[in-house]
């Protein structure tokens, strides 16, 4: 099938099925990209119950659980959209970064559909999905500045256009969602910890538990959460009452939100120096579901003279609509992949920055971000 060159995006409306299996959500969705974006369906099966006894995601359990339900989830997405396989212009799957067993389940399903229906396959970077997630519901023209804060990633990116992101900053250790999850665990909260910690923090007084401010004196927009995580875990052992636990949850949440907002403010200044347009700040990823984080980021954007957009909560955490949209935007430009597309456990969005400014010495496992 001939595809337009990347320079001349096709204007024909495109219907794309997206598949997402890179962590513990098995998701499928259908998006139509024409003049605007329409999410025709979005199905998400979560595996929380299978992982809860272990306090976190177990890769092997996740992969098996994806394999068991992927067919039904895809059928349900097509059914919700009122469409059949014959209506699809392309099929997109998250091909990484993520837990490799799960990624292979979703990517293999997409390859099978592409082969059987003779439609293009688009192997989407999961992070590119998060990067476009605001475009599912908001007018967010390229370029914009993005904070991507999830369970596995925490980075600030200039999103310049389709498939083109420039990394301004990243975490030196844990991701923000990981910090939420681990602090929640030390407070005895069930997995997934972020939403549970936000609930506990509701009635807490953040001023009653002092926690360290990480990298506060640095002018870069890199993040660090591991010291905060350790300090909060130590304090959790000293909590005697429910009020102590609430206050610690509130203090930890405030500390994470403050760091995200402070580093985003630095990134907005850097971004403004190199961009004469696109004064828009977007947040994406599971941590963007947190009310305090959203409030502090919105305030930082206002102070910097930027507009602020955040996806609705259902598109903050992992979903397949964002994969379908990233796939449709690539397909519009003829950016499609062969059936030999590889599943990738690691896949930096900004390959140049990852090569020239690695955050970790070679051979070390380092941050997932």
Task: Give the C-alpha separation, 102 to 343, whole Å.
Answer: 10
Interface segment toward Zn ion; rule CB under 5 A; list 144-152, 180-188, 298-306, 349-357:
144-152
**By CB under 5 A, is residue 150 in contact with Zn ion?**
yes
**By CB under 5 A, is residue 319 in contact with Zn ion?**
no
Task: Give the C-alpha separation, 149 to 264, whole Å.
Answer: 11
Q: How many CB atoms lie within 10 A of CB 79?
A: 12
**By CB under 6 A, is residue 180 in contact with ligand KG4?**
yes
Q: What is the largest CA-CA distance in the chain?
A: 67
Interface segment toward ligand KG4; rule CB under 6 A; list 4-12, 103-111, 284-292, 359-367:
284-292
Interface segment toward Zn ion; rule CB under 5 A; list 33-41, 150-158, 245-253, 308-316:
150-158
Interface segment toward ligand KG4; rule CB under 6 A; list 131-139, 192-200, 299-307, 326-334:
192-200
Name the minimum Å distance from CB 133 to ligand KG4: 9
Interface with ligand KG4 in residues 23-82 (CB under 6 A): 23
Name the minimum Å distance from CB 263 to ligand KG4: 17
Q: Identify the CA nearest to 166 among candidates 368, 348, 362, 369.
A: 348
Applying CB under 5 A, among 181, 198, 318, 329 the residue interacting with Zn ion is 318
Task: Give the C-alpha separation, 109 to 63, whole Å.
Answer: 13
In this complex, which beta carbon is closest to ligand KG4, that of residue 214 or of residue 288? 288
Instruction: Identify the helix (H) or strand (E) that includes residue 127.
Output: helix 126-132
**By CB under 6 A, is residue 348 in contact with ligand KG4?**
no
Q: What share of the chain is helix, strand, coil (3-state, %, to 5)?
A: 45, 20, 35
User: Which stretches within 59-117 are classed as H helix?
Assistant: 59-81, 100-117
104 neighbors 110 (Cβ within 8 angstroms): no
What is the contact surface with ligand KG4 in residues (CB under 6 A)?
A: 23, 150-152, 177, 180-181, 192-195, 198, 285-287, 289-290, 317-318
């Amino acid at each position: 099938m001939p595809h337009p060159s990347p320079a001349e995006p096709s204007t024909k409306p495109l219907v794309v099925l997206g598949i997402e299996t890179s962590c513990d959500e098995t998701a499928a969705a259908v998006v139509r990209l024409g003049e605007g974006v329409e999410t025709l369906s979005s199905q998400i099966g979560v595996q929380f119950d299978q992982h809860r006894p272990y306090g976190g995601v177990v890769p092997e359990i996740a992969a098996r659980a994806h394999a068991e339900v992927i067919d039904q989830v895809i059928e349900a997405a097509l059914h919700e959209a009122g469409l059949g396989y014959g209506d699809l212009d392309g099929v997109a799957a998250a091909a990484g970064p993520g837990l490799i067993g799960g990624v292979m389940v979703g990517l293999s399903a997409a390859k099978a559909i592409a082969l059987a229906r003779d439609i293009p396959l688009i192997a989407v970077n999961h992070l590119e999905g998060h990067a476009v997630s605001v475009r599912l519901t908001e007018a967010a023209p390229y370029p914009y500045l993005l904070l991507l804060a999830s369970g596995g990633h925490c980075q600030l990116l200039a999103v310049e256009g389709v498939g083109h992101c420039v990394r301004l900053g990243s975490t030196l250790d844990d991701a923000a969602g990981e910090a939420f999850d681990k602090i929640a665990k030390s407070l005895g909260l069930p997995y997934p910890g972020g939403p549970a910690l936000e609930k506990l923090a509701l009635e807490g007084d953040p001023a009653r538990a002092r926690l360290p401010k990480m990298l506060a004196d640095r002018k870069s927009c890199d993040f660090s959460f591991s010291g905060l995580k350790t300090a909060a875990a130590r304090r959790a052992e000293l909590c005697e009452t429910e009020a102590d636990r609430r206050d610690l949850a509130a203090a930890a949440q405030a500390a994470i939100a403050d760091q995200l907002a402070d580093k985003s403010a630095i990134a907005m200044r850097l971004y403004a120096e190199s961009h004469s347009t696109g004064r828009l700040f977007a947040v994406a990823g599971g941590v963007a579901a947190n009310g305090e984080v959203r409030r502090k980021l919105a305030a930082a954007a206002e102070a910097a003279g930027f507009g602020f957009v955040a996806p609705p909560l259902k598109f903050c955490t992992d979903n397949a609509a964002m994969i379908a949209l990233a796939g449709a935007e690539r397909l519009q430009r003829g950016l499609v992949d062969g059936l030999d597309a590889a599943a990738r456990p690691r896949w930096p969005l900004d390959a140049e920055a990852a090569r020239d400014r690695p955050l970790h010495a070679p051979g070390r496992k380092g941050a997932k971000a």
